[in-house]
Amino acid sequence: MKVTLSVIKADIGGYVGHSSSHPEILDTAKNILEEAKTKRAIFDYCVLNCGDDLELIITHRKGVENSEIHNLAWTVFVEGTRVAKKLKLYGAGQDLLSDSFAGTVRGMGPGFAEMEFEERKSEPVVVFMADKTSPGAWNLPLFRIFADPFNTAGLVIDPTMRKGFIFQVLDVMEDRLYTLACPEDMYDLLALIGAVGRYVIKSVYKKGTNDIVAVASTQKLSLMAGKYVGKDDPVLIVRSQSGFPAIGEILEPFSTPHLVEGWMRGSHHGPLMPVSFSQATPTRFDGPPRVIAAGFQICEGMLVGPRDLFDDPSFDEARRMANQIATYMRRHGPFEPHRLSLADMEYTTLPEVLRLIFEEIKFEIPRKVEFEEKFKEKYKFLRDVRVVVAEGITFDKVLKVIAKEGANYFEKIAKDGMKIGVGCGRSIGNLITNLTPKMFSNLKIYPLSVTPTLEAVEYSSNVLVGHMAAKYPDSLAFNLPSVPVANVKEYEEKYLINPEAKKIYEESQDVDIFLVGIGAVEFKTPGFAHIAHLYEGVSPEELRKKGVLAEINFFPLYKDGKPLTEAKTADKTLRQLAQRIVGVSLQRLKEMAKRSDKYVIAVSGGVEKVEAIKTALKGEYFNVLITDVGVAERILED
């Protein structure tokens, strides 16, 4: 007969801490499943626990991912959570990421492994259940069971197994499934499954017959919840004997307690210790990670068992070895390789700690405080000044040091949910590069300048908005149409007739923090100088002779610090050309800089930009300046 074996688990409350499950929760689960069995909704069931995980082993005839079966399991977890809350158990309901059932438990927090098969003359299966680890914990044992002849003698001496097995490997980050066969794809398989945090063996089939032989849970709680809410604690089903690996071959990989990720707070590597049901109570540093093996004979859908397969003195040496490894790893304390690498810690609580570190004890770049005070005395409109020490190095390195200080300053004043305006230019690009990923949430990021050419500009506002959004994945990033126009009025009539575009444009005029650069008149960064040469054939040298000495977000500044469009003594053709620039105008920046609730931060430096920065200071278009000692000395001496 055809039968479905479903193993569905969830952590709905620990007793005590994360060490075990309370007997009342286990009894609740048994009562609900017994009622379902009485009503013939299922064939049979077994309720176990591994650590603080409630494990439901159910047989039925409804197939995998059946809504009725998953709803039954969900009901068990919900009722168990009520018990856990009543008893004030730790982490009550922590694996339940949804308030209501949605057809199956997929994506809702609980883990599951299921397979449907035709019962053989004898149908032995092993259900592995682990605590304090992740789905990648099964990669090494599954490889050894189904592909390693040094572990599984049947691959060599059993004629029904010599063709090998087919592995389905899931990329849990990209949700892609790869199919590889052994022995011919062995090296490719190892290339994937050695990266246990990303590539996870989902299922194994017998080559030739395509019979399902093993299936593992692959759900990662952190990817479902977007943050650390507990370790995944996977389950695994393996069929045995008669053309499949023998029970002893299935258990043998666990005689060497391999290192897995998980353990304390899901943040450490530790040995996977094979234990009996009664020893599945991880307490040492909330571990080490445990695995139990429940053996069953399935007979006409009924579960004959369980046999506690690791309750065997032959695994005493593995347990002793696991304790030795645990002691060795624990002596590393917070150091890798005991603690997971930073990439693997992304979904643990570490990012929040790093955020606090960066907020409270951010690395300080050496500064000339006396220059900063003199600057504020000379330019009283400046709310704040940062003068960094970057002497005796190249222009590019000066820019990077200034940008680093700009990033530090931004991270000190920014708050979750703020509106951020992003200008253009290399300095702002470098600033964004130095931002700490995921430090802020729910930001709204707007472009301050609309590039008025059809050429791709590496440091345009639209491009840099995207770069900043990549730092803060849950932020909202907005772009505006970027096309040449004769003037702002034409832009409004052609491109802001779209209500959504108009709304973005209007909101960009009134953000909380404006990030702008001050550009010299040159070809290095495509700006107004580029436009003047493109449309009028005017070189940067000629522009400077005509009194155009600086630009902010492509908007050109005349030598008296006024916008070129307002400089009546300036070249008429150039003034008309300046009307092509679209974005947050210089006049608007000036208005915002006068407000105490707004930050207009200008990031610019290098002695090549002294003239440009002096010109911009005349116009008072910002209230915070971040520059370097070389610039400060020359401006203060003037």
Which residues are catalytically annotated? 11, 228, 231
Cα three-residue angle 462-465-466, rounded to 5 degrees: 95
Tokens 């859908």 label which residue? 301
Q: Compute how many other C-beta atoms are within 10 angstroms of the C-beta atom of residue 92.
A: 20
- C-alpha closest to that of 22 among 112, 72, 108, 84: 84
Those residues with Cβ within 8 angstroms of residue 286's Cβ, 6 or more apart along the chain or in another chain: 17, 18, 19, 132, 263, 264, 265
Give phi and psi for 450, each to the nearest 5: -105, 115
Neighbouring C-beta atoms of residue 633, cutoff 10 Å: 16
> 573, 583 in Cβ contact below 8 A?
no
DSSP 8-state code for residue 420: E
Angle at 415 between CA 411 and CA 421, to 5 degrees: 75
Rg value, the chain, Cα: 32
Q: Which helix (H) or strand (E) holds 314?
A: none
Contacts of 377 (CB under 8 A, 6+ apart): none
Q: How many CA atoms lie within 13 A of 124 on its CB side?
A: 15
Residues in a beta bridge with 206: 165
CA nearest neighbour of 229 among 354, 108, 316, 137: 108
Strands 513-517 and 599-603: parallel
212-251 burial string, b = 16+ CB within 10 Å, else e? bbbbbbbbbbbebeeebbbbbbbbbbbbbbebbbbbebbb
Report which of 383, 374, 376, 371 is spatially closest to residue 624, judged by C-alpha positions: 383
Q: What CA dihedral angle connects 527, 531, 537 and 539, to 10 degrees?
A: -10
Six-digit token pair at 599?
């930050």
Paired sense of beta strands 582-583 and 449-450, if any: antiparallel
Token match 């049979």: residue? 44
The token pair that represents 46 in the structure block: 């077994």
Query: What's the start-to-end Cα distance of the chain, in Å?
Result: 94
162 phi/psi in degrees, rounded to 5: -65, -20
Burial class (CB in 10 A: 0-12, 13-18, 19+), 455: exposed
Residue partners of 282: CB distance under 8 A and separation at least 6: 18, 19, 51, 131, 132, 288, 289, 290
